[in-house]
Structures are given as C-alpha cells and as structure tokens.
C-alpha cells in the first residue's frame, strides 16, 4: 500500500509540475490579531522560518507564535521580484539535472517529498527533481551581487477564507483574490507541516 501511495503521489506531482511550470504553493503564516505574512517558505529551523514574501523580500519569522497556516495554490507565479539586498540565510544554488541533454537552473529547494525535491528558481518557475537525477548542487555567489531580479508574474491578493471572518479586510479589488485550499490551526498539524521544509 505504501508503494502504491508513493507511486500515485509521484505521478500526480510529475503531471502537475510538468504541465504548469509556474505553479506555486503559497503560504500565509498567521499570528495574533490577524498579522500575516504570505509567500514561499525557503527554510525552517528550530526557531525561525525564512519566507520570500509576496512582494519579493526575504523575511525571517518566529516559529513559536504561529496561530495558523493558510495554504494556497496558484497556477502562475505571484511573486514579482526577488530582492537580494536583505541578508540571505539560504543562498541560491546552481542545480544540474541529468537529462538528454543535462540542464541547470539557479534556485532554492522549497519542499521535500521522499525521493523528490521541489525547487523555486530565480525566474519564478518551479522544478520537480528526483534526487537520483541530480548531478550537481553548487553555491552561486555571483547572483547575490545583483540587487534584485524581476520575475514574470501574475498579481494576486490572498484571502483568509471563510474560517477566519475576523481577518477579512474590505477593500477595492484590483487583482484576483485567491482563497486558501487548506488551513492548519493546531500546533501538531503546523509542526508536522513545517517539518518538510
């Protein structure tokens, strides 16, 4: 049964990422009084989360006081730029993948699924890579000298969903609003979720 689940998960992930190169899973980290930070999670350690926020800035957030995590799925990349001016705890890497021909990209690992790693590259694309196909994982110092990289993106607003009416903000809609597909609100679920980064 475990093998079947693994194969099914692998198949679904490959189909999803092959057909939508810009697809992203975006997260809102919610604290008390509806304070939220939305973006891609790049790293999680014992005390902190490093997030590339929806405006393209890196943020270090405390892990301890998280009240909820909202999970969004977007077809297009919602992040307009990557700002390298703040201190990076997790620098980008050059990843070389075995293929016909081999190909490389510069980015960060953002999710781990058994034998698979999801990367977010400096062009705003996601890549699903089997660990066995990775030929290289090198540091890239030259990219950090750029102050920022502009990305092809689709702007979205990220809502709080129907489970958090106290956090809803009424304002004029200038872009599409994406509602969360999942919500985690208990400490055990949040801890388990953050363990895959």
Are 158 and 167 contacting, i.e. CB atoms less than 8 angstroms apart? no
67-126, pLDDT tens digit by residue? 999 999 999 999 999 998 776 778 889 999 999 999 999 999 999 988 999 999 999 999
Q: Where are the domains of the chain?
A: 2-194
Averaged pLDDT, 26-52: 95
What's the CA gap between 102 and 84, in Å, rounded? 28
Averaged pLDDT, 185-192: 95
User: What kind and span of H or E run contains 10?
Assistant: helix 2-19
Confidence of residue 3 (pLDDT cuts 50, 70, 90): low
Q: Say whether pLDDT at 14 is over 50.
A: no
Q: Read out DSSP for 76-116?
A: S----EEE-SSPPSS--EEEEE-SSS-EEEEEEEEEEETTE
45-69, pLDDT tens digit by residue? 999 999 999 999 999 999 999 999 9
- Helix count (H) and strand count (E) of the chain? 2, 15
| 61 bridge partner residues | 49
Q: Say whether pLDDT at 16 is over 70.
A: no
153-185, pLDDT tens digit by residue? 999 999 998 888 888 775 556 667 899 999 999
Are 14 and 159 contacting, i.e. CB atoms less than 8 angstroms apart? no
86-103, pLDDT tens digit by residue? 767 788 899 999 999 999
């Amino acid at each position: 049964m475990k093998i079947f689940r693994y194969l099914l998960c692998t198949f679904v992930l490959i189909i999803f990422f092959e057909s939508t190169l810009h697809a992203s899973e975006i997260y809102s980290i919610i604290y008390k009084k509806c304070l939220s930070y939305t973006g891609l999670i790049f790293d999680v350690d014992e005390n902190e989360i490093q997030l590339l926020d929806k405006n393209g800035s890196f943020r270090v957030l405390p892990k301890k006081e998280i009240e909820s995590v909202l999970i969004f799925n977007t077809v297009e990349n919602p992040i307009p730029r990557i700002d390298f001016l703040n201190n990076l705890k997790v620098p980008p890497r050059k990843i070389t993948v075995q293929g016909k021909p081999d190909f490389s990209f510069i980015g960060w690992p953002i999710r781990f699924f058994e034998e698979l790693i999801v990367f977010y590259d400096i062009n705003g694309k996601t890549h699903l890579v089997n660990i066995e196909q990775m030929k290289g994982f090198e540091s890239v110092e030259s990219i950090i000298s750029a102050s920022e990289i502009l990305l092809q993106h689709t702007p979205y607003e990220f809502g709080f969903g129907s489970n958090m009416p106290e956090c809803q903000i009424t304002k004029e809609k200038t872009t599409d609003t994406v509602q969360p597909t999942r919500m985690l609100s208990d400490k055990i679920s949040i801890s388990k979720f953050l363990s895959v980064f």
